[in-house]
Structure 1
Amino acid sequence: MKKKLLVVALAVGMSAHFAIGQPEKSAPSVLKPTAAQTQAALWASRVLARYHYKAVPLDDQMSEKIFDRYFKTLDADKLFFLQSDIDQFNAVRGKFDDAINNENLALPFQIYSVYQTRYDERLSYARELLKGKFDFTADETYPIDREKAPWLKTDDEAKDLWRRRVKNDWLRLKLAGKDDKAIRETLDKRYENSINRLKKLNNEDVFQMFMNAYAMSIEPHTNYFGPRSAENFDIQMRLSVEGIGAILQSRDDYTVVREIVPGGPASVSGKLKVGDRILGVAQGDGQFVDVMGWRIDDVVEKIRGAKDSVVKLDVLPADAGPDGKHMTISLVRKKVSMEEQSAKKTIIETKDAGGQKRRVGVITLPGFYQDFDARRRGERDFKSATRDVARLLGELKKDKVDNVLIDLRNNGGGSLTEAVELTGLFIDKGPVVMQRSSDGKVDIENDTQPGLAWDGPMGVLINRGSASASEIFAAAIQDYGRGIIIGEPSFGKGTVQTLVPLDRFAANDKQRLGELKMTIAQFFRINGGTTQLRGVTPDIKLPVMSDSENFGESSFENALPYTTVKPAPFIPLGDIKAILAPLQKKHDLRVAKDKDYQFLEDDVAEMRKHLNDKTISLNEAVRRKERDQQEARAKLREQHLFTQMPVPPKDAPVEGGDPKVKAPPTAKPAAQTTKAVAVRLPRTDDGLQGDERSLAAELAAEKRAKDAKDILLNEAAHILADEVSLLKTDTRLATKVAPYLPPTRGN
């Protein structure tokens, strides 16, 4: 029976959650579970108790864990519930097993009802506070981290906490230069929007939060997906959807076009523009449905549909006022590929210490995606990360690059099959990863395809956000001695999940009960160790940019432990360790002279200094001093930036720049290129949330970040360029490090 559960083997990273709901402007004030949800909970409990890698019975002990995690899910920072609310339900801490087995989920919905009440009370009080004034000369603080704090004891304590929270929000805007009137309007709208967002949650949202509290009480990477969430997860894996090819966003009560996907129906038509607001949706010749105030996922569901079907949009153009003239746009739905999330290549040119030019091909892989259904149907051109990378490697060969870097930063994983097959592009044949199931049986996943797509030197760039399938690939490359691992220690997720459709057990023809993403195995490196908890340790370390205590597998209190198994039989392809010392020396000497790299290390040190800060001052003088120090740091970076920028011709427009910013007289003369060098400058706090900034400002900020100099990527490329130089000039070293390479002479 267990093998029948292995629908899709996944090596996904951090737990994923998706919004779900029915097309309605606001949810009823009192939410109740449906019959389908009570059935889904019962079937999920049976599957989890029998087939999970860490099978745990649903009993009173598990019920208590669900109780604690459910309250944490609803109120992680303990801003809303009172201790008396927790005490009210303490008598039923061990009753969630009975609720699920008896198909009566009134209890979790009752808890959510109390949460709704408290949420409305807190935000309504926050709006009342805006009518008064705040004393910013007092020496008081606001707690920015309340995860481990006790629950609020009294209503007076809750009001004092929220008074300081609102005061902090006000001070941030005040320091950003806003006047009292603007601050009051901004915050009142923010709190009102928060109340309205909660009102739009429905019973499917509540049920999914409860079921994930159950699933994640067993193990961090087990999740429940409602029917719509399951569909969204499938879209993420296959990187395609049938629709119009537009990225949408909620702003106030509008659904706004944030991005047009190249090649999609919206792009081809040329009628829909970024910033346009969608007010209504109609199917074919049907009547328009008003979608003002709807949740974004409800609007998306209306716009998606079968390939070659027609959808009509009632659109208020971006440049029109609220009472402007509407447009009706008809689009024929097509299969839209999400190419922005596919593998991409770039080439970085560097020079070694001897002035020799080296070309490093970089392949950025955001995820290990695969269109499982298309592959199962036997389609020849199914979407696959490995296929895309193989094609890009072929192009890089034609570009005559000297080395290849696979950038897996923030790649949270995906298909286990893709991780194995991608490794096969860089080794001939052999074991890649081992899996141990709950019965202790260990299976070896092998690359069975002969030949290599790239037989030259290579490296892998990872960070704390590189998880699961990324760790399988990086670990295999490291164990084989095939390439250099560069970056910071990875996430540390060494478990494998599968998708289990619950409707299969209930014999339903249609998807009603959702799916489980369930841990069914633990994976191990071919050297016998696991990446669980410890992750992959890079050969050459770059600055650690993340908070490892609060991000990564080791941050979960119920993560599986580190363990080992017998190594798989494999033959290393080379001895990378032999070249690490000279590469490390060259790296250290280079970054010691690299001002951008030094700025980055300073920023990381500053971040680490404040990691353990639990409070923030509400004294304006103190905060202004802190802000002035930040701005002084930013000015130093700006000055350094301008010294690297070529001086453009007189009166030339500055692309993406601020016309009021003038370059200092120390800027270097124009060189052969006119492309400006950009670095990621610290962003001054404007006190706003994302949807409170204009869409144009948000898109411009994203573009600046995308175009900015990637200091760590550049240094990784330099390291690989150094490797090429050493291998080309030292035959004995090359024979030891990479005996698979053809012999070379000179440069």
Structure 2
Amino acid sequence: MKKSIEFMKRNYKVLLVVGILAAGLWSFIPSKKITGDDKDKMLIELLSFVLEKGHFSPIELNDEFSKKAYASYIESLDPTKRFFIQSDIAEFQNYELAIDDMIRSKDLAFFDLTYKRLMLRMKESKVIYTNILSKPLDLNDNETINVDYEKLPYAATKIDLDQRWRKQLELAVLSDITDKEDIQNALKSEILDESSATKEEKLAQKTEPKSFEELEKTARKTTESNLNNNFSFIAELTREDWFTVYINAIVTQYDPHTYYFSPEDKEKFDVSMSGKFEGIGARLQKKNEGIEVSELISGGPAWRGKLLEQGDVIIKVAQANEEAIDIAGMRLDDVIKKIKGPKGTLVKLTVKKVDGSVKVVPIIRDEVETEETFAKSTVVQKDGKLFGVIYLPKFYQTFENRSNRDAFKDVAIEVERLKAMNVQGIVMDLRDNGGGSLETVVKMTGLFIDKGPVVQVKPAGGKAQILPDSDPKVQWNGPLVVMINNYSASASEIFAAAIQDYNRGIIIGSKQSYGKGTVQNVFELNEFVRGNQYGELGALKTTTQKFYRVNGGSTQLEGVKSDIVMPDRFSFMQTGEKDEKSALPWDKIEPAIYTPLFQNFEKVIANSKKRIATNDNFNLISENAKWINDRKEDNTISLNYTAYKKEIADIESQTKKFKSLEKYKNNLNFTSLPYESELIAKDELLKEKRERWHAELVKDIYMTETLNVLTDLTVLDTNKPIVKTKKDKKLKEKLASK
């Protein structure tokens, strides 16, 4: 069984659950291949048992549970209420309080009903929008549309549904028309430099502006094309895909992070956690004409071979010397399965090049690293001091092969590289980092603190286990600032909490982090069934433990509160674990025994708060956040062209003052480290990615203030000894008087 953290090996309760589950299920050994309804029923039975025995806080299957699962499922099928009508919902509601009973009896009647009805309604909807968009729309009526779909009732009849579609389509067309008019006006008023303008720009400026009728016709075609692409994607979803939606409406009632992965989704999850896979190293996307290469992954076999290019359309796929298979009409996921394969094997792609020629491109598959997943660093000069910034998108780890790279190893390497450049402070940027491996974050925290407890992990009804950093070595003992935001979650919160509890550095960012204080295990479901009569069953990620800071408090719901709060556009929005309907509660346990550092950050924090309070850009961000919050209930939009244009103009007028935020630049020079500069010289794609990242940092006001804080930290009196206790007040006072 694969687990999300190695520390779970010590959790005998979880292992016992697995043993009981396996023994219970192995008593059922089918004699033939099981598919369809029988496989689905087995999956429901299996998931129910795992959740009952293995979840941190199992819940009772009753009418209240059924009601919540029902609401979640129906909303996931039709979030904008443009498929079902009230008679459908009335029929579905017969099952609203029966899902718990249907789980016990493995009854699929409700799923079968909703699946078949959805397929029918989607087929009808395609006819509806095709008919509406086949002729000019009347955009002069004084109608409005309410886009608060959550509060919107379902259409009473099919005629009402037609009208709902018409309004949604009119809104899409109005939006497209105004966008095209803005482009026309911009080109009309702009004076192009003839020496540098492209042919397209020169032609566009010389072309007569299109009439409203022409723009409306073009907008209808664009809208129809977008819908056709969307419906084409949905049409590729199988009954198994929709059954996964049904299953997850059920299991997510236990908590937001309990989730069922179909076999395909599990594979994607593994890749996201490890940052590696075996294949050709190309990203593909479905286009009208087929499967198109959207990007070559830097360093991958396709990139190295230089025969496959962005924009190439794949026509056929052949394995080694086998006959090529025409992939026309094939699902994107199925094409990807044929192209991916073990390292060292040959795949031949027949592609239509951008110039129209057709070529066969042979590629030897290899291990591919998704570079965007991994830690990266940069250096910057600020006030005569050199600082390092390490950006970590997630706490990744390859569980199958511990010799492969993981976030701990990579960050350790980046720290050493920065030390070699004599940086005077380091920023750990964990913004938008959703977490990852618990083992990895514990070891990574140890790079910055002396040995001691990092986090406490507690199973349901069990005793808390302390996960320590046992290595007394501190790789970086200089100034440290950790950046977080509303979407820094899980392992990110463990790291930030430990740094804060040890008083090792300053936490800066949003008011608080996401607030995910739970630990999940990933259970491979095939491990519990003898034989392979069911085929691939996928996996269940379920919450088995909660983690707690060394000070005893949970990060669940409350997250980690920043020492320095910087305003952001989402300051007043409902974000984070606390806004999840099925989130587990906050609690606290006994603190661990640990020794915080005596470092007085009060002056640094106070200086930063003064800068933020008097900074025009931060004040503008706060004003923008309040404006966004005030407008969140304004969900009615005019479908009259003139009124719609006025609404858009009014909004643009109100937001004009906020546009200056887009022009902000800190005029700092972020540069790659020497080793990476050598790679960039040979890799145009990597060069482009780093230039884009550095350009974003130049426009990042949050990074600017973070570097100001780091500058202040470097001027603290470093001659005073550090006291590793907060209990010896007399010694503190004595040191302070010197």
Per the TM superposition, whether the score is higher than 0.5 is: yes
Aligned partners of 1:491 and 1:552 also within 8 Å: yes
Write the letter of the residue equivalent to 1:472: I
Secondary structure of 2:499's counterpart equals helix
Q: Deviations over 1:271-328 (max 9, x none)?
A: 11111111221111112222234332222111110110001111111x33xxx22111
**C-alpha distance in 1 between matches for 2:369 and 2:136:** 52
C-alpha distance 286-540 of structure 1, shift in aligned 2 (>3 A): same
Write the letter of the residue equivalent to 2:400: D
Secondary structure of 2:156's counterpart equals coil
**C-alpha distance in 2 between matches for 1:81 and 1:640:** 42
Q: Which residue in the other structure is 1:360 paired with?
A: 387
Q: Structure 1: give runs of 5+ residues left out of the alignment.
A: 12-31, 352-356, 647-671, 676-698, 740-747
Q: Which residue in the other structure is 2:381 paired with?
A: 349
C-alpha distance 580-152 of structure 1, shift in aligned 2 (>3 A): farther
Q: Deviations over 1:165-220 (max 9, x none)?
A: 11110100110126122112111212222332222110220121111111101111
Q: Deviations over 1:74-107 (max 9, x none)?
A: 1223332222212212223344344444444243
Secondary structure of 1:176's counterpart equals helix
C-alpha distance 365-642 of structure 1, shift in aligned 2 (>3 A): closer
Q: Which residue in the other structure is 2:597 paired with?
A: 573
Aligned partners of 2:351 and 2:359 also within 8 Å: yes
Q: Which residue in the other structure is 2:128 paired with?
A: 125
**C-alpha distance in 2 between matches for 1:479 and 1:472:** 10
**C-alpha distance in 2 between matches for 1:189 and 1:89:** 32
Specify which of 500, 508, 522 is matched with residue 486 of structure 1.
508
**C-alpha distance in 2 between matches for 1:290 and 1:366:** 38
Q: Deviations over 1:378-426 (max 9, x none)?
A: x3xx221010000000011011111111111111111111111111111
**C-alpha distance in 2 between matches for 1:187 and 1:430:** 59
Q: Which residue in the other structure is 2:160 paired with?
A: 157
Secondary structure of 1:301's counterpart equals helix
Matched, 1:420 2:442: yes
C-alpha distance 287-622 of structure 1, shift in aligned 2 (>3 A): same
Q: Deviations over 1:640-669 (max 9, x none)?
A: 9889899xxxxxxxxxxxxxxxxxxxxxxx
**C-alpha distance in 1 between matches for 2:322 and 2:108:** 38
Secondary structure of 1:445's counterpart equals strand
Q: Which residue in the other structure is 1:619 paired with?
A: 640
C-alpha distance 587-642 of structure 1, shift in aligned 2 (>3 A): closer
Write the letter of the residue equivalent to 1:270: K
Pairing of 1:266-665 with structure 2 (within 5 A): 266-317=302-353, 319-320=354-355, 324-351=356-383, 357-375=384-402, 379=403, 382-488=404-510, 489-508=512-531, 512-546=536-570, 549-588=573-612, 591-592=615-616, 597=618, 600-628=621-649
C-alpha distance 241-6 of structure 1, shift in aligned 2 (>3 A): closer
**C-alpha distance in 1 between matches for 2:76 and 2:660:** 45
**C-alpha distance in 1 between matches for 2:275 and 2:487:** 20
Stretch of structure 1 that moved more, 542-551 or 425-434: 542-551
Specify which of 254, 259, 284 is matched with residue 218 of structure 1.
254
Aligned partners of 2:381 and 2:669 also within 8 Å: no
Aligned partners of 1:249 and 1:296 also within 8 Å: yes
Pairing of 1:206-285 with structure 2 (within 5 A): 206-285=242-321
Write the letter of the residue equivalent to 2:223: L
Q: Which residue in the other structure is 2:77 paired with?
A: 74
**C-alpha distance in 2 between matches for 1:645 and 1:552:** 30
Tell me the number of residue pairs that the alignment of Structure 1 and Structure 2 aligns. Answer: 649
Give the superposition deviation at 1:702. 12
C-alpha distance 401-625 of structure 1, shift in aligned 2 (>3 A): farther
Aligned partners of 1:575 and 1:736 also within 8 Å: no
Aligned partners of 1:425 and 1:453 also within 8 Å: yes
C-alpha distance 673-566 of structure 1, shift in aligned 2 (>3 A): closer
Give the superposition deviation at 1:541. 0.8
Stretch of structure 1 that moved more, 78-87 or 222-231: 78-87
**C-alpha distance in 2 between matches for 1:410 and 1:615:** 32
Aligned partners of 2:563 and 2:605 also within 8 Å: no
Give the superposition deviation at 1:123. 3.5
The root-mean-square deviation of aligned C-alpha atoms, in Å, is 3.2
C-alpha distance 8-638 of structure 1, shift in aligned 2 (>3 A): closer
Q: Which residue in the other structure is 1:680 paired with?
A: none
Secondary structure of 2:590's counterpart equals coil
Aligned partners of 1:7 and 1:500 also within 8 Å: no
Query: What TM-score does the superposition give when structure 2 sets the normalisation length?
Result: 0.81
C-alpha distance 73-39 of structure 1, shift in aligned 2 (>3 A): same
Matched, 1:48 2:51: yes
**C-alpha distance in 2 between matches for 1:234 and 1:100:** 29
Query: What TM-score does the superposition give when structure 1 sets the normalisation length?
Result: 0.80
Aligned partners of 2:572 and 2:629 also within 8 Å: no
Give the superposition deviation at 1:531. 1.1
Pairing of 1:52-131 with structure 2 (within 5 A): 52-131=55-134
**C-alpha distance in 1 between matches for 2:559 and 2:247:** 28
Secondary structure of 1:305's counterpart equals coil
C-alpha distance 102-582 of structure 1, shift in aligned 2 (>3 A): closer
**C-alpha distance in 2 between matches for 1:590 and 1:289:** 65
Write the letter of the residue equivalent to 1:611: K
Q: Deviations over 1:426-457 (max 9, x none)?
A: 11111111112112421111111221111111
Write the letter of the residue equivalent to 1:531: T
Give the superposition deviation at 1:69. 1.7
C-alpha distance 734-674 of structure 1, shift in aligned 2 (>3 A): closer
Stretch of structure 1 that moved more, 279-288 or 613-622: 613-622
Secondary structure of 2:645's counterpart equals helix
C-alpha distance 477-508 of structure 1, shift in aligned 2 (>3 A): farther
**C-alpha distance in 2 between matches for 1:290 and 1:248:** 16
Stretch of structure 1 that moved more, 289-298 or 237-246: 289-298
C-alpha distance 732-590 of structure 1, shift in aligned 2 (>3 A): farther
Write the letter of the residue equivalent to 1:360: F
C-alpha distance 242-6 of structure 1, shift in aligned 2 (>3 A): closer
**C-alpha distance in 2 between matches for 1:211 and 1:540:** 42
Secondary structure of 2:180's counterpart equals coil
Q: Deviations over 1:117-150 (max 9, x none)?
A: 2223234212222234444344432222211333
**C-alpha distance in 1 between matches for 2:165 and 2:115:** 21
Aligned partners of 2:566 and 2:612 also within 8 Å: no
**C-alpha distance in 2 between matches for 1:100 and 1:293:** 36
Q: Which residue in the other structure is 1:655 paired with?
A: none
Q: Structure 2: give runs of 5+ residues left out of the alignment.
A: 9-34, 182-214, 672-686, 729-738
Identity %: 35
**C-alpha distance in 2 between matches for 1:432 and 1:72:** 40
Q: Deviations over 1:667-697 (max 9, x none)?
A: xxxxx9999xxxxxxxxxxxxxxxxxxxxxx
Aligned partners of 2:284 and 2:294 also within 8 Å: yes
Aligned partners of 1:491 and 1:553 also within 8 Å: yes
**C-alpha distance in 2 between matches for 1:645 and 1:568:** 42
